[in-house]
Amino acid sequence: MRMEGLIVLAGQELKTLRNRRNITVREVEQASRRIADVKGDKRFCISNGWLAQLENGVSEPSICKLFSLSVIYRVNFLDLLRLYKVDVDDKEKYEPVAEPYLTQLLSQKTQLLHEASGCDGPLETSLRPQSVDTDIKQTARAGNDTSQIVCAHVGLADFTMCPMIRPGALLKIDTTQNKIVAGAWPNEYERPIYFIELRDAYACGWCELQGNQLLILPHHSSPAGVRRFTYLREAEIVGRVVGYSTDCVDSATEALKIPRRKVMGLRNHSG
C-alpha cells in the first residue's frame, strides 16, 4: 500500500473511533487542551482544524498528539500506532534487518525475513521459530517428539561450513545433543556439526575441545578460519545439527552484495 493511501485509511479509522465516542472535533480539542495543561506541554494539544486534516488524510500525527487521542478515544496507544504501520511487536523481527551481518537470535514471532525483504534471507546465522519449518510440522504430525528440536538459519555472510552447508541454509537442531562427541568418523558427513551460542552471536561448524578452549572448525574447502573461544564462558553448544536444507550452488548475485570485511569466520578468534 502506498503511504498516501495508508494515511487516508488511518485518518478514516480515527474518525470512526471519534464517532464511536460520539464527540465532536471541538470536544476533542478541549479534552486535549486539558491533557496538555496537566502535562505542561502544548504538544499534546490538538486543534479542531488539525484533527480535521488528520481525519482527511492530509497530515500525520505526532507521538504526543496520538497519545492524547488514545486517551480521549479510550483505545490502546499501540493500536493507534499500528494504524500507521508501526508495530512495537515487530522490533525483534527487524533487528536483523537493521544489523544484517550480526548473528542474532530470532524470536518465536519472527517470520521469514526474506519474504518481506525480497532477499534470500538475513546475512546472520540465527535461530528460527520452529513453527515455520515445514519438515518439522510433518514430523510432528507423524507423532514424533519435536519438543527438543529448534530451527536455525545460516547467515548469508557465514561461510564456515561452505560448500557442505552454504550460506542461507536452513538447519534442524537437536538440543538434547549439546555435548561435543570426540572420535574418528568415516567421512565428513558423519562428523557431528554443532550449533553454537556465542556471547552475542551464533555459529555453526565442527567443534573440538582442547582443555577449556572450544574450537569451531570450518569445512576444509571453506575460506573461513578456525575460531577459538573459552568454553562455557564465551561459547556454549545449543545442539547438534541433525538436518539441513542447502542450495547446491552459491548465489553469485548475493555474494557480490556482501562486503569482504563482513564475511563471517574469515578471521581467527582467540578467547
Give, in words, the CATH class of 92-262.
Answer: mainly beta
With 0.75 as the threshold, say if the pTM is over it.
no
CA geometry: angle 70, 98, 157, nearest 5 deg: 155
SS3 193: coil
Residue extent(s) of CATH 2.10.109.10 domains in the chain: 92-262
Q: CA 45, CA 41: separation in Å to the nearest integer?
A: 8
Tell me the pLDDT tens digit for each residue of 209-224.
999 999 999 999 999 9
For residue 154, the model assigns a pLDDT of 84
For residue 91, the model assigns a pLDDT of 80
Instruction: Determine how β-strand 202-210 pairs with β-strand 194-198.
Output: antiparallel
Low-confidence ranges of the chain (pLDDT < 70): 1, 96-97, 99-147, 250-271
Tell me the pLDDT tens digit for each residue of 10-28.
999 999 999 999 999 999 9
CATH code matching the domain that covers 3-86, chosen among 1.10.260.40, 1.10.3720.10, 3.40.50.1950, 3.40.605.10: 1.10.260.40
The cell for 127 is: 535461530
For residue 1, the model assigns a pLDDT of 57
For residue 143, the model assigns a pLDDT of 45
Residue extent(s) of CATH 1.10.260.40 domains in the chain: 3-86
Tell me the pLDDT tens digit for each residue of 182-217.
888 999 999 999 999 998 889 999 999 999 999 999
Q: CA 262, CA 70: separation in Å to the nearest integer?
A: 44
**227-230 β-sheet, strand order:** 126-128, 149-153, 170-174, 235-245, 194-198, 202-210, 213-217, 227-230
Q: CA 193, CA 165: separation in Å to the nearest integer?
A: 10
Quick one: what percent of the chain has pLDDT higher than 70?
Answer: 72
